Amino acid sequence: MEAELTADEARRLQLRAQGFIGARPKGGVPAMLERLGAVQLDTISVLARSHELVPYARLGPVGRAAVETAYWGNGQTPTAATRTAGRPTTAPGGRAGGVALAGPAGGVVPGSSAGRHAGATNGQGGFGTFEYWAHAASVLPLGDWPLFAFRRRAYLQRGWRWHKVPEGVCDEIRARLKADGPLTTKELGGAKASAEWWDWSDHKIGIEWLLDIGEVVCVQRVGWRRVYDLAERAVPAELLARELDDDACLTALVARAGRALGVGTRADLADYYRLKQDQVEQVVEATALVPVKVAGWTQRAWADPDALAELPGLRGRHATTLLSPFDSLVWDRARTSRVFGFDHRLEAYVPRAKRVHGYFAMPLLAGGRLLGRVDPAREGRTLIARQVSMEARATGTPSRTESSAAALATALWRAASWVGCDDVRVERSDLPRDILDSALKNATPA
């Protein structure tokens, strides 16, 4: 008999799975990445880039340098000036140590690793990283490298992804990387064929294609540019040799998605790693996920059994924070509407005159609810909320209005402190100005 969950229980399960309820997750950024399975990357930077905002929301004011180190190493990037031709330096962070190999059902199998790793470690072995296509372009735990073999094979079988690959360019890139070690696209010959953002050079097309099919990996970011190296040199041999069939890959990823969501429908589980729903359907019974019914949900759902076991005693701290629009708590818009009753869209690419909530409106999470949106900016050492838009239920009564204003003020001052600001200003808000001003004053750090 399927377990039955209330909508509130489903919401709490997702908050637990994503690290927003109870004690702050231990293990820092590497453990957070392992828990989430993927952190989406995006070029937009307002207060910080999205991959920095994700750990901030869960862990508090973690140093931004620590975030970069956890994803890409210690920042000592091998460049053309520091490499010896034919003898690439060790990738940032050193050797992979004891990388955890992902099991066929999403578990981990301990294993030592040889050679350099793609990204970073937590300094204690394990928790290597690599960049690949998951929900979108994402940082992923290196132990999950084998799980994306199905996608690499699909690209290879198709023969191209964004662009047709010019003849001979891949051989040239392989030879350069083999001889010179890690290189940026600029060092390979430049990323653009013209001033248009979409007009990639032959070398950019070639290197991105080799990343798509798993022949190269990103070992570092420099000024947001990827530094590429051969996978055979940067990924531990045990992982490269572990070629899972499609069903094993999909089973593991669906299991991982279920743990990261706590509970989800077939569509939810598919969206997390951008799988097809029929792919989820063919493997979900092979995972350890438990079929459940959620009140108000029209579709069948599956839950993480460990999360279900903890549900009766699930309580404790609720995070009060601003979220990146690309945070995995809210990146699935349809699910966010169903679970939180919160309809949200990124308006960065909407013409200014047509924006409703602002360029980079960040959802406000407090008390386990999404209370509104903040469109932030910075002017010198002042964090500015260009626009604050609260949900109707967050201001439905005087007491709710006051508590929502207090949550907003707390989130704004915490974010300000994190990005090095010592003042906060709200330009436009649908909260009463006197209540908002009082909340901001009361939340001001001593």
As given in the structure block, the two tokens for residue 272 are 């997390």
As given in the structure block, the two tokens for residue 409 are 């003020």
pLDDT at 316: 76
Tens of pLDDT, residues 209-265? 999 999 999 988 887 889 999 999 999 999 999 999 999 999 999 999 999 999 999
pLDDT, average across residues 145-149 = 97
The 3-state DSSP class for residue 208 equals: helix
Helix (H) or strand (E) holding 171: helix 169-180
Sign of CA dihedral 42, 46, 50, 51: positive
Which runs of consecutive H residues, i.e. helices, occur in 37-137? Answer: 50-59, 64-72
Cα 433–chain centre separation? 35
The 3-state DSSP class for residue 84 equals: strand
- HSE at residue 436, side-chain half, CA atoms within 13 A, is 19
pLDDT, average across residues 428-446 = 94
Is the pLDDT confidence value at 79 over 60?
A: no
Tens of pLDDT, residues 280-327? 999 999 999 999 999 999 999 999 999 999 998 887 789 999 999 999
- Residue 300: CB atoms within 10 A of its CB come to 13
Tens of pLDDT, residues 97-110? 323 333 333 333 33
Tens of pLDDT, residues 369-418? 999 999 999 999 999 999 999 999 999 999 999 999 999 999 999 999 99
Q: pLDDT band for 93, please (50, 70, 90 cuts).
A: very low
The C-alpha atoms of residue 412 and residue 415 are separated, in whole angstroms, by: 5
